[in-house]
């Protein structure tokens, strides 16, 4: 009865051979464990559902796992793009800036003092955002390869 059920599940599964082997191995272990705990093969089959239902459930779970990978890749691409754009804008902005003590388009320092200006430097903020995004990107890459 168990062998027939497993064969039917094999036929119903439309996933890669490697995944199919893992699912069948897990299914055989589930039967063995249930039998050790006093459950009959028929009770296990009733709990798992028809081979078609079981295969469908397993494939949905596998499909959901694939979306998780796509989300991780999309997040990686977004953080890498944010890091690249932020750092590029910061570098370009700093390289084309007049000296800090210059006013207007002057090429040198002046004696004129300007007070009341906002003390926030946008290029510094972009630099920090770029570095943070770069660190997050590296963390994501390391985490991705640790999970594999």
- Cα–Cα distance, 47 to 54 (Å, whole number): 10
Residue 103 lies in a domain: no
Residue 123 lies in a domain: yes
Number of domains in the chain: 2
Does 81 share its domain with 27? no
Residue-wise pLDDT for 116-134, tens only, equals 555 667 778 888 888 998 8
Stated pTM of the model: 0.45
Does 81 share its domain with 146? yes
The tokens for 143 are: 């985490």
Please give the mean pLDDT across all residues of the chain: 80
Does 11 share its domain with 82? no
Tell me the average pLDDT across 56-63. Answer: 80
Residue 26 lies in a domain: yes
Q: Work out the burial of residue 9: count CB atoms within 10 Å of its CB; fewer than 13 is exposed, 13-18 middle, 19 or more buried.
A: buried
Nearest to 51, CA basis, from 20, 2, 19, 8: 8
Does 32 share its domain with 80? no
Residue-wise pLDDT for 84-108, tens only, equals 888 888 888 777 666 665 566 656 6
Residue-wise pLDDT for 62-89, tens only, equals 766 555 667 777 888 888 888 888 888 8
Residue 61 lies in a domain: no
- For 8, the domain range is 1-49
Does 44 share its domain with 72? no
């Amino acid at each position: 009865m168990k062998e027939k059920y497993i064969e039917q599940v094999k036929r119903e599964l439309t996933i890669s051979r490697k995944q199919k082997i893992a699912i069948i191995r897990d299914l055989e272990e589930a039967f063995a464990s249930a039998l050790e705990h006093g459950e009959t093969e028929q009770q296990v089959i009733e709990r798992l559902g028809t081979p078609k239902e079981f295969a469908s459930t397993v494939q949905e779970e596998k499909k959901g796992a694939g979306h998780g990978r796509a989300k991780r890749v999309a997040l990686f691409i977004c953080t890498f793009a944010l890091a690249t754009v932020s750092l590029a804008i910061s570098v370009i902005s700093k390289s084309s800036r007049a000296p800090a003590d210059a006013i207007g388009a002057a090429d040198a320092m002046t004696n004129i003092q300007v007070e009341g200006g906002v003390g926030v430097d946008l290029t510094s903020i972009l630099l920090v955002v770029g570095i943070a995004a770069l660190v997050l990107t590296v963390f994501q890459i390391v985490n991705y390869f640790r999970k594999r």
